[in-house]
Amino acid sequence: MDNILMWVRPVLTTTPTRWMNLIQALPPELLAEPPAPKEWSALDCLQHLVDTERWVFPVRVKAILAGQDFPAFDPDAQGTKSEINQSMTDLVAEFARLRNESLDVLSRVTPDDLPRRARHAELGLVTMSELVHEWAGHDLMHTVQAERAMMQPFIRGCGPWQRYFADHAARQA
């Protein structure tokens, strides 16, 4: 995809606003409810996005630009555990602040930088292009995952319409 830098910036720019809209409109209990045991709630997804904004994506962009390898990130071992008691508005504000800093880092990437490579500790050699693609996909995936989590109480309660949600229903353990 030749235009990845033109596509990724709007995706990354809109994500904090999408989350702010969700946080402001929805009850905290819905945001904190996991779709099934051992699956992430919407709040867990947001906390993960904050963690990766703090420790993963901008760090990796800088590493590739500097020609340095970088470690893997394990969200279960290295991530922050979300808590319903924390201010979700503050969490989104922190995400927005970190994202603005990350967009500044991303603005340093030019089309000539896209083939640059570095070694990911788990995946091996990766390019800047692959990292940038993954960043946008990661944002969208965890936002969709959060929305899917919030769908579950409605799916469970919709009686005969449940069959229309078969592709979105979480499997209960």
Model pLDDT for residues 110-161, shown as the tens digit of each residue = 999 999 999 999 999 999 999 999 999 999 999 999 999 999 999 999 999 9
- CA 33 – CA 48 distance, rounded (Å): 15
171 is a domain residue: no
- Has residue 77 got a pLDDT over 90? no
- In the chain, how many domains are there? 1
Say what the pTM is: 0.93
Q: Alpha helix locations (H) across the chain?
A: 4-25, 28-32, 42-55, 57-66, 75-78, 88-106, 128-156
User: Does residue 92 form part of some domain?
Assistant: yes
Closest CA to 82 of 68, 69, 95, 100: 95
Which 8-state DSSP code applies to residue 170?
A: P
Q: Does 173 fall in a domain?
A: no
pLDDT digits (tens, 9 = 90+) for 3-33: 899 999 999 999 999 999 999 999 999 999 9
Of 3, 8, 7, nearest to 111 by C-alpha is: 3
CATH number (domain holding residue 59) = 1.20.120.450
Placement of tokens 């969490």 in the chain: 91
Residue 106 inside a domain? The answer is: yes
What local confidence, expressed as pLDDT, does residue 1 receive?
56
Do the domain assignments include residue 83? Answer: yes
State the residue range of the domain holding 23: 4-165
